[in-house]
Amino acid sequence: QQQVKQSPQSLIVQKGGISIINCAYENTAFDYFPWYQQFPGKGPALLIAIRPDVSEKKEGRFTISFNKSAKQFSLHIMDSQPGDSATYFCAATVSGSARQLTFGSGTQLTVLP
């Protein structure tokens, strides 16, 4: 019930291409879905987040698409750059609760120059 399933485990994209990472959840009580970006040797950092009252949120080259009925959400990175190479984690939580994030398993993105 608490799991967040993330795919793919790893992704290789050419510079300028689109990177797409998918996540699915089961707990319908989740109402806040952040994505975290982690560079080697660093802790995860919040990249972008969405609430289920909207189907899409865009910040620069990063877009979250949300499908409430399917209980799925995805991260799209447009015009992918080598500097985007990192591990990306989706997460979910119930806002107003104890802020306990349930993380996906992570996707290691490599953007080739």
Partner 1 sequence: DAGVIQSPRHEVTEMGQEVTLRCKPISGHDYLFWYRQTMMRGLELLIYFNNNVPIDDSGMPEDRFSAKMPNASFSTLKIQPSEPRDSAVYFCASSRQGAGNTEAFFGQGTRLTVV
Contacts with partner 1 by CB under 8 A lie at: 32, 34, 36, 41-46, 49, 89, 93, 95-96, 98-101, 103-106
- Measured from the CB atom, the residue of 45 and 78 that comes closer to partner 1 is 45
107 vs 66: CA distance, rounded Å: 18
**18: Cα separation from own chain's centroid:** 14
- Smallest gap, in angstroms, from Cβ of residue 104 to partner 1? 8
Least Å distance, CB 89 to partner 1, is 7
Nearest residue (CB) to partner 1, 13 versus 33 = 33
Nearest to 57 by CA among 73, 70, 79, 38: 73
- The DSSP line for 9-26 is SEEEEETTS-EEEEEEE-
Q: How many other C-beta atoms lie within 10 A of the C-beta of residue 95?
A: 9
The first and second tokens of residue 76, run together, are 């799209």
Shorter beta-carbon distance to partner 1: residue 43 or 60: 43
Q: What's the closest the beta carbon of residue 97 comes to partner 1, in angstroms? A: 9
CB of 56 to partner 1, least distance (A): 17
Largest interatomic CA distance in the chain: 42
Question: In terms of CB distance, is 70 or 99 closer to partner 1?
Answer: 99
